[in-house]
Amino acid sequence: MSSLILRIRPLGDQSILAVLCLCSLQVLVAAGNLRAEHTHLDELYERLVQQGKEAEETGNWDRAIGSFEEALRLKPKSGFLQTKVAALYFNRKDYQRTLDYCNGALASDPRNPDAAKLAGKAAYALNKFDVAIRYFEKAIAARSTDAELHYGLGMALYASRDARRALDELYRARLYNGKDIEVLYMIGKIHWEMCQQAWEEMVRVDPNSFRVKQMVAEKDVSSNLFPEAIAKYEAIIKADPHAPGFHDALGKVYLHVGKLAQAEEAFRAELKLDPHSFTSYYGLADISFQRQDFAVALEDVTRSIQEKPDFGDAYVLLGRIEWHLGDRQKAVETLEHATGLSPSDASLYYMLAHFYEVLGKPDSAAKAIKTYQDLKGEQEKEYDAGRQ
């Protein structure tokens, strides 16, 4: 342009001004055309995104993917759209494409937790567990309180045979969602597998150890094989009468099968070895309660609570004892305190409902019954889920 100006300088200032205006006009027209083109592309992008959303809402995934992918050609760095398309491919079980689009979204925004979460789930589905772990850890770094992320990481770690770290993540998942049955199942499953491994190793190391016999006795109790459990505990005590804990365990089994005299003897033997055994004091209190010797029962259950002030079962028994001794208001207060220590004990609320009715408190009774029914319902759901 400078050479043009030099050539036309002899024509005068007015000619120069005319040429400058002409050049400026051309620049303005070009800029206007560019803005119009951008506006058109923005409108087309928004229209394609809207079409994709509408198709997604009606379950037409093919059309939704087509619209979103066409919009991505206009704005290829849109992390939002890449995550959208990734989610649709995940729903169609096309996990590799899910990963591809998630990687695109993460390239645009490395802290995109939704894309990292989807990528982790897709990698897990493809059995790429090490890859899944990295994605889940990336997502957790941006969204640390997401229970599903901790569950996903726990599952990937478990699949990678890192059971200890898996448990850490599953417990974190339970912290943020304590009612997720899948989380609870996996915690129990991993603990059970670790127990099995430890027990098998115990048998290999020393099959005649009293700990091996104890393990078998505890299995017998859990399987309701009470005579077998009694025989094994008695064998352990005969071999080592001064070993702590086994008289108490034997007493509990005797108490469960209704052999009160034998149970009392076992609990008293335990207290000679361990005068602070709160469970043995509780066992003696339970025996006295069943014999309707409420004064002695009160003495023993009080000692149990003194040894362990947060022992919920002891407060339940104390409340029952106080009720039979005639101090009904105090009994209710004791049971109310027990609900804070054993909030998931459905039978406790059923008992409270009965006591409230007797005391003429129908509203409190109705509330207690409602809690009882809710807890029973949750327990039945967990039982049914465990059977599936």
Instruction: Categorize the per-residue pLDDT at 41 as very low, low, confident or very high, splitting at 50, 70 and 90.
Output: low
Quickly count: other Cβ atoms within 10 Å of residue 193's Cβ.
12
pTM, whole model, 2 decimals?
0.60
* Separation between Cα atoms, residue 44 and residue 41, nearest integer Å: 5
Between CA 60 and CA 54 the distance in angstroms is 9
pLDDT band per the 50, 70, 90 thresholds, residue 8: very low
CA–CA dist 289, 260 (Å, integer): 11
Least confident of 13-22, 51-60, 61-70, 83-92: 13-22
CA 274 to chain centroid, in Å, comes to 38
Please, which pLDDT band fits residue 66 given cuts at 50, 70 and 90? confident
| Boundaries of every domain in the chain | 1-76, 209-275
Paired tokens of 230: 């009694």
Window from 53-57, 183-187, 200-204, 231-235 with minimum mean pLDDT: 53-57
Q: Is 75 exposed, middle or buried (0-12, 13-18, 19+ CB in 10 A)?
A: middle
Per-residue pLDDT at 26: 60
pLDDT above 70 covers a percentage of the chain that reads: 87
pLDDT (average), residues 286-293: 97
The residue type found at 124 is Y
223 CB-near residues (< 8 Å, 6+ apart): none
What local confidence, expressed as pLDDT, does residue 153 receive?
97
Would you state the pLDDT for residue 163? Answer: 93
Instruction: Give tens-digit pLDDT for 376-385.
Output: 887 766 555 5
Q: Is the pLDDT of residue 359 over 80?
A: yes
Q: Of 286, 278, 250, which Cα lies nearest the Cα of 265?
A: 250
Amino acid of residue 253: V
Name, in order, each residue with C-beta under 8 angstroms of 234's C-beta and a sequence gap of 6 or more: 250
Q: Is the pLDDT of residue 2 over 50?
A: no
Contact 52, 73 (CB under 8 A): no
The DSSP call for residue 276 is: T
Q: How far is CA 185 from CA 55, 142, 193, 305, 339, in A?
A: 37, 27, 12, 33, 25
- The pLDDT tens digits for 198-212 are 888 888 898 888 888
pLDDT at 337: 96
Spell out the residues 6+ positions from residue 301 whose beta carbon is closer than 8 angstroms to its own. Answer: 281, 282, 285, 314, 317, 318, 321
Tell me which residue of 179, 175, 130, 184 sits closest to 153, measured CA to CA.
130
Q: In terms of CATH architecture, what is 209-275?
A: Alpha Horseshoe (1.25)
